[in-house]
Amino acid sequence: KKLGIALVGLGSYSEGQLAPGLVNAEHCYLAGIVTGTPAKEKEWMERYDIPKANVYNYENFDSIAENDAIDIVYVVLPNSMHAEFCIRAAKAGKHVICEKPMAVSVAECDAIIEACEHANVKLSVGYRMQSDPFTNEVKRLVKEKTFGDVTYVSSDASYISRGNPDQWRLNRALSGGGALLNMGVYAIQSNIYGTGTNPISVSAQEFSTRPDYFKETDETIMAQMKFPNGAVGQLCTSHNARGNRLYVSCTDGWIELNPCHSYGPLAGRTSDGNKISFPHKSQQMLQMDDFAQHIKTGSTNFAPGEMGKRDMIIVEAIYQSIREGGKTIPLDLGDMGIVR
Ligand code: NAD
């Protein structure tokens, strides 16, 4: 049986990526919607053949508990709303996918994890890269030491924001932060899968060149990390640059993905002259199918809540370092959130 997913928040990501990704999924399908915009109800019901009984708004959402057609609730709202809706979904007895960043604080990540544990439901974060074959090829090459030991990793995850200055991503109360909360979590992730380990310390700097536009949220952040095997890493995340790349330097060669964090097709190459190449598939389809299989068969959860929480611990350490003039902040993460 395909598991029924209800998308909460029908913004650009739900409309452009998740709903189309679900059309071809093998283990799940778009069964329901939760929206605060009545005009979208009819449009989505028609386009995706969704019965009225599976349509909710933010007020009557909790009654989704009585709807057996919905197995998974996927929260695709502005970041500061993730915790509330994930916790409500767990209380309704539904498995939960929480978009990235998992929340706007470590404390909120803890609250989501606890609610899911208490309700005995599964939880994952919308980290589509963890189901992407290019990402997994980098993980394999690093793990098997194909090019020797990793000594240095560098990743960029950025785009230039020029649109509406009142958008929620630039509003701290809704976003929790700027580039770091938006694209930065991808750069943190690729530093981690580029070395195969969690960082043991981080230092960071913030740069601001368009303060009239980025009034409340960070524009550009650079961070440096140390890893337990001696490797060092750096990342740049920005709302005022183009960056979509991972470079992994090893003792006997290198691995590069460019583009690395976008929806694909991605591209990669290695120092031996080979290309990294896979047929293009919707990352979102792969991600949701992986989670549905995890629920059905107990297979690996490639993006567990613990991974989202770990990244938020690093985010908070980066902001702390910036507040403290670039001071190195030690991290004690062990293997937290590493899925092997
Ligand atoms: P969006 O602005 O396009 O959509 C946001 C949705 O939330 C809209 O349907 C809007 O109506 C609704 N909403 C409810 N209350 C709101 C409020 N107070 N202010 C603004 N909108 C409100 O945003 P999006 O790009 O779809 O992003 C939604 C979430 O998905 C974010 O957490 C974002 O980080 C995440 N996302 C993840 C990826 C990915 O690659 N995994 C890509 C894009 C977005």
SS (H, E, C) 93-131: CCEEEECCCCCCCHHHHHHHHHHHHHHCCCEEECCHHHH
The pLDDT of residue 156 is above 90: yes
Structure tokens at 183: 């694209």
What domains can you pick out in the chain, each with its CATH number? 3-126 (3.40.50.720), 130-278+304-330 (3.30.360.10)
Tell me how far apart the alpha carbons of residues 124 and 1 are, in angstroms, rounded to a whole number: 20
Q: 295 near 179, Cβ under 8 Å?
A: no
Tens digits of residue pLDDT in 65-120? 999 999 999 999 999 999 999 999 999 999 999 999 999 999 999 999 999 999 99
Q: 248 near 192, Cβ under 8 Å?
A: no
- Binning pLDDT at 50, 70 and 90, where does residue 63 land? very high
How far, in Å, from the CA of 76 to the mean position of ligand 1? 6
Quick one: CA torsion of 183, 78, 119, 287, rounded to 10 degrees?
-40
- Binning pLDDT at 50, 70 and 90, where does residue 51 land? very high
Nearest in space to 71 (alpha carbons), one of 3, 2, 25 = 3
Evaluate: CB of 77 within 6 angstroms of ligand 1: yes
Nearest in space to 20 (alpha carbons), one of 281, 292, 303, 294 = 281
pLDDT of residue 143: 98
Query: DSSP labels for 220-280?
Result: EEEEEEE-TTS-EEEEEEESEEEEEEEEEEETTEEEEESS-SSSS---EEETTSPEE----
Q: How much is the average pLDDT of 259-286?
A: 97
Residues with Cβ within 8 Å of residue 176, at least 6 apart in sequence: 79, 80, 101, 103, 104, 105
Residues linked to residue 234 through DSSP beta bridges, in sequence order: 154, 224
CA angle 112, 13, 41 (to 5 degrees): 90
The pLDDT of residue 340 is above 90: no
How far, in Å, from the CA of 94 to the mean position of ligand 1? 21
Evaluate: CB of 284 within 6 angstroms of ligand 1: no
Evaluate: CB of 184 within 6 angstroms of ligand 1: no
- Binning pLDDT at 50, 70 and 90, where does residue 173 land? very high
Evaluate: CB of 165 within 6 angstroms of ligand 1: no
Average predicted confidence (pLDDT) for the chain = 98
- The minimum-distance atom of ligand 1 relative to the CA of 182 is 34
How far, in Å, from the CA of 249 to the mean position of ligand 1? 35
The pLDDT of residue 328 is above 90: yes
Evaluate: CB of 36 within 6 angstroms of ligand 1: yes
The pLDDT of residue 331 is above 90: yes
- DSSP H/E element including 236: strand 232-238
Q: 88 near 115, Cβ under 8 Å?
A: no
Active site residues: 100, 186
- Binning pLDDT at 50, 70 and 90, where does residue 321 land? very high
